[in-house]
Structures are given as structure tokens and as C-alpha cells.
Structure 1
């Protein structure tokens, strides 16, 4: 099988062809030739699209799929298709299923379900048994079976000693520990950012302090234990400052932010639309600006969709009763591309997350495996419900003008086009 990509602008700082417009010939899953012009042949599959750009394949570090247990929200097969058409060649899948992914066999189940897919599925196994935060799960066994990191999705580890032991133990096999940034005692029963909007709307607030206290605790523990810590989905200006200071100290700390926290504020809550109910909650304009600055400066390492499909029975209800979570794969790129320059954030989709989670990154260089995303960063569109590919439709970007278009991917010797 041979695929010829014509007139593509290559976006890959590690490639000798960075920012150059080239033809790319892929044969048997490898980048055989990259040149100014490659002649078309009858047996080639030709990809020739308006303002075509290609980069290393995108990697989403926080994707929730319903299966096993919540197939009505999203099956693994459907989720993989959504990821491919959204530009992702690799995804890290969270452990928030039923049963929780907390054993070797659970990890192997996920990997086997994705075999022969164009998408590389990498499980994030639970840090604690059944994600209850009481006893540590069998981390080493799960890593040997293919788990790339360990975390209880959207659940903080409240037991300080348990977190300390996890950071110490994981060092024995270079394991990556995730810690969700929320202090439940401070957050209480809050459902929205504590501030002017929550007060006006009569919604119980979650103060930023709940995030800051948890991050500060984790950083103190990391400084004591050593090891690798990743803090997923930060949401405040102070969190950026705390992590910036920790990095200056030389701590092995990384963090991510969601596409919706980079683009939306708690002003959206005036509609009481439960699609804007997220965990952590949407914050203020000042927080959004600080998060965007954190991407540009390199303090924030990763942008994730934090894709979490929720079925209509649990989402289209009163705001206070609705489950947290948004579908985000389809909009991750086009949302961020609407507020940031491509060169400021593309590494947060590609080389940075792969390096942190130990995933091989294939630069766009002759002889390498073809693992690429195809897109147009310039087009604009109104994102509507009909654009949602996921089984669940809980997107916060419905009817919003977004910038960019994903054309597809080439991965695992398969071309997927929209």
C-alpha cells in the first residue's frame, strides 16, 4: 500500500522539513520519501487537500470510554473511530469504567480490544484498588501488562501517606503517578467555581483554594520522595504559578490543561446548561489568560480533551444533578487553535505528552514509521450537534465558532479521512 500526500506543510520542530511544503510518499507504513515534488502513480492513494498541514500524530492523555460497564456512553470501538477522525493517533484511556481498571487482566482487556486499530490505545490504570483511595493497586504488574501511568480519574488521593508510598514505590520501575488536583474537604458539595457568577446564580462554589492546597501538598511530597508526578487538568492561575516554581526547583513535575479550560469561563453558567458542568469547574477570564500564558511559556506541558462522554439520562437534567464531563475529542484542536497560535501549542499535542508518558514519537523524517495527523489550521466553522461524532453529545462547544479542520490521520499503516 502506497499513499502520496501532496503539498503538505510539515509542522515538526524535530524534522529537517519543519515549516516546509513537501510531498510525502508513504509505503508499507513508512515515510519512504519527502521531496518538493513526487510524481503520482496509478497504484497510489492520493491525498491532496486545501491548505494541508501535517504534524506528528497527536496524543490525548485523558480519554474516558464507557466500556466496560457504560457502553451506552461510548464503546471502545466507537471511541477509537472518534479519536481517529479528531486527529489523534494515540490515546491514554482512563480507568473510570465498571469494573475499574485496577488489575493486569483489566489492562490487557483494553489493549486487546484496540488491536488492529489505527489508534494506539494506552491504558492509565487505577492508582488504588477500585479507585477508592484506600489501598494501592498492583502497579508493577499493570505496567508490565501495558499501563503507561497510574491515577484515579477525577478522584484525589486524600491519604497523604498513601500518596507518599505511591511516589516512592513507582520509582522502582520508573512509573508515572497522577494526582487529581482537588481537596474534597475544601470543595465540599460545590458544583461551580466559587466567585461572582456562582453567587449570582445560587450555585454552591468550589474555591480555587481546593486545587491549590492539593497541588501544594503533592509538591511537598514529591520534593521529599523524588519520582515522577503528573497533575492532570489544572484550572487556575495560582496552579500555574505553583508548578512553575516547582519546576524551577528541579522537581520532576508535569501537568496538563483541558481545551475547554483554555477557552471557556464560568460566564457560560448563566445558561444553566449542564454541558458546562466540568471537573474541575470552569474558572475566570484571569485564570484562562494565565493558562494560555502557561502553554506559551512551557510551564504547562500537555493539552488534553479530557473526553468524558455522559449519556443523556445523566447529563440533560438539572445542573446540580448532572454528572461532570464533556465530550472533547472532536473539538480539542479546533478550540485551542481558536485562541492560540499553532506554534505555541502543537508540541502539547505531540512531542511533550509522548515524552512524559513514555510513548515513542516518530518525527516526520524519511525512513521513520508514518504516524501523522492531517489538518488545516485556517478554516473556521460553527460547531453544531451534527459535528459530534461521539455516542454521547455533551459538548460545551455547540454553536460556537471554532478555527481549524481535521482532515484525518495516517497511523498503523492505515489512512483515515474525514
Structure 2
């Protein structure tokens, strides 16, 4: 299909057309022309949308669906449709399925399910067999099959020697190791942030120390071994400080935080709404402020939705028994744009590609069209009606958003809401 985007404002600092409002002609998946006014031929579909903005395609490094094994939560097909309509042209998909994605055959299965879709699915392989934390999985074989990184989703690597070996081994093929930041012996049976709010509500707490101690350990190991380490979804002020210091030392360290950790605190738990039961837990305002500063100064490399669909049977239960997780693909752009502004939002949604070995595609003539389409304006409230996922467990319903997503053009296809 050929497309002509009319009056599109380009947000791409690397492009010669940055901040210019132009027409963009796309033929056979390639940007054929960018000009002030382009006349559409009969073979071109003209796209004219209110306050249309385009940027390089967005990437979410922390997404879960359910298939295989938990299709009632989300299928790959519908999950990719949700990602597309939320403005994402690429996702990193976690291995927390049944069976766990811990070998090359299962990586190939995921790639096959997403074949010919507009959204590119990049599997993250489990670091350990069955994500059990004991034996290292087949990292090289998975990388050859298409895995972009290796980590056990929401499961900390308790054995430091295992992480040491993984960091050493992955250097043979430039692999990226992910380590979830939680020291389980400190976290214990906690489920929310250990602070005044947990005491008032009578809920067992996870202290910030549990995250920070694990990060400090991982950074010591990285300094010893070399290699590449990514710490996903950090949530505390001290975590930001530790990673800032490690980057100043020149360590090859990257990290992310989540949309919900940038805008929510543990005060949300007053109603015992299990949609706010997330891991890491929601922290206090001091931590939120430090995370925002970390985003603004570049200590935090990317922001993720940490999209984790969960069926109603695991959320509409007592708080103690509820599963962790919130969905966030649909609300990510609007929340971030309201908080950070358009250019920083686009930066946070595209910067992660290079860290995970995915090529950034500058918006210019002759380049592949990998575009997110959106409206940067219009204040609104995010509502449940805007949820497209099969599961509806969203912690961000009722929060302020700015702008809306229209969809994507990628891999020669267009998907609009």
C-alpha cells in the first residue's frame, strides 16, 4: 500500500525536517518524498488527521501478553493490534508464558506468530531455564533465533555467581543481560512499599532497600565482569543515584522506569484497588520526583508501560491474593506527554531501541517508513473506554492525559484506530 500523510508535523531531532509541517509520501514501505505539498495519485491513500504529528516508531521494552499458555489474558494477535493503535511500532515481549520462552524453538514460535504484522515483535528470552533461577538458559541459541535480551521477568537473580557467569558468557555474542532489581530476602512477603502508608493499611511492605541492595550488587558484578547490563523498572531515588554513579564510571549500564511509577504513589492504595498492586511497588513522592529528574537528565534511558494483562480472576480478589501488574500501552503516550512534553516523550519512547540493538530509522527521503502517528494536543482524562486490551487491569484510569495516538505505519502496513 502507498500512503500520503497530509500536513504532518515531524518530531525527530535527527531529521532535517524536525518540527516542520509537511506532506509525507510513502511508497512500498519507503518514504518516497517529503515536501510542503504533495499531490496524491490514484494509487495512493491520502491520510488527513487533526493536528497530525509523526515521529520515529516507538518501542516498548517491557510488554507481556499471555500466549502461549495464558491466552485468556491476551493473545499475540490482539496484543500487537493494541500496541499499534497505541502508537508502538515495536515491542520487547517478556518470556513469562507457559511454557516459559527459554529456548530457540519458543523464540521462533513468537517470531512466527508476529510475522507479517505492522508491529515488530522482539522476544526477550529467559535468562535461566524455566525462569527458575538455577541454570542458565540457551542464550546464544535464542539470540540466533531472534532474542534481543535475556531476563527472568519480575524474578530476581538471587545467585550472584549466576549473574556473573551470564555477563561473562553474553559478551561472546554482544548479548544484553537483564536483572530485575529485588533482593527477595529483604522483600520477604511484602507486597506494597514499606512506608507510612503500608502501616496505616496493614499491608506487608517491601522496603526500598530491597531494590537498592540488588542494584548495588549487580553494579559491582558488572564492574568486575564487563558486558552489558539492563536494569528494568527502577522505582526509588537511591536507585537513580546508584545508576547515575555507575554511568559516570563508564559502566555499560542502562535502565528503565515505568509510566505508572512516574505519576503514581502509594497513596493510591487507600481503596485497596488491586490494579495498583504492581512490582516494584508504588513508592512515595520523593521517589517519583527523583525518577522524573532521572528521566530529564538522561540517567534513566527509557520509559516503559510495563504492560502486563491479568485476567479478572487474578485481580478481583483480596489484595493479598491478587497478582501483580497493570496494563499500560494505551495510556503511555498521553500520560507521558502530559508529564514531560512532546519532545522528551518521543525521546523516552524511541531511545530504548539502540540499547536493545534495534535500528533507529530517521524520518527522511529514501528511508524505511517506521512511523508513530499522534495528536500532541487536547487535555483529557484516560477512561476505561479507551482500553483496547483483552484484560482491563489498568492503574491509570482517571489520570490526566495530553494528546492521543492515531496508530502507526510500519513494515509496509498502516494500522489506525
Q: TM-score, normalised by structure 2?
A: 0.99
1:318-351 superposed Cα distances (whole Å, 9 cap, x missing partner): 111100000111011111112112222321211x
Deviation at 1:40, TM superposition (A): 3.0
- 1:386 corresponds in structure 2 to 385
- 2:59 corresponds in structure 1 to 59
Q: Does 1:224 align with 2:224?
A: yes
- 2:42 corresponds in structure 1 to 42
SS in 2 for 1:320: helix
1:75-86 map, 5 Å: 75-86=75-86
- 1:189 corresponds in structure 2 to 189
Deviation at 1:380, TM superposition (A): 2.1
1:217-242 superposed Cα distances (whole Å, 9 cap, x missing partner): 00000000000000000001111100
Q: Does 1:327 align with 2:327?
A: yes
1:198-227 superposed Cα distances (whole Å, 9 cap, x missing partner): 111111110000000000000000000000
1:227-284 superposed Cα distances (whole Å, 9 cap, x missing partner): 0000000001111100000000000000001111111111100011000000000111
The count of aligned residue pairs is 417
Deviation at 1:289, TM superposition (A): 1.0
CA distance in 2, matches of 1:407, 1:38: 21
CA distance in 1, matches of 2:289, 2:344: 14
- 1:377 corresponds in structure 2 to 376
SS in 2 for 1:122: strand
8 A Cα contact 2:335 2:399, kept in partner: no
SS in 1 for 2:321: coil
SS in 1 for 2:330: coil
CA distance in 2, matches of 1:188, 1:257: 23
1:80-113 superposed Cα distances (whole Å, 9 cap, x missing partner): 1100010000001000000000011000000000
CA distance in 2, matches of 1:290, 1:336: 16
Q: Does 1:417 align with 2:412?
A: no
1:93-132 map, 5 Å: 93-132=93-132
Q: Does 1:311 align with 2:311?
A: yes
- 1:400 corresponds in structure 2 to 399
- 1:345 corresponds in structure 2 to 345
- 1:133 corresponds in structure 2 to 133
CA distance in 2, matches of 1:29, 1:320: 49
8 A Cα contact 2:63 2:91, kept in partner: yes
8 A Cα contact 1:240 1:299, kept in partner: yes
Deviation at 1:388, TM superposition (A): 0.7
CA distance in 2, matches of 1:374, 1:346: 11
Uncovered stretches (5+) of structure 1, i.e. residues with no partner? none
1:344-375 superposed Cα distances (whole Å, 9 cap, x missing partner): 2321211x211000011111010000000000
CA root-mean-square deviation: 0.8
8 A Cα contact 1:295 1:345, kept in partner: no
CA distance in 1, matches of 2:11, 2:112: 32
1:1-80 map, 5 Å: 1-80=1-80
CA distance in 1, matches of 2:71, 2:380: 30
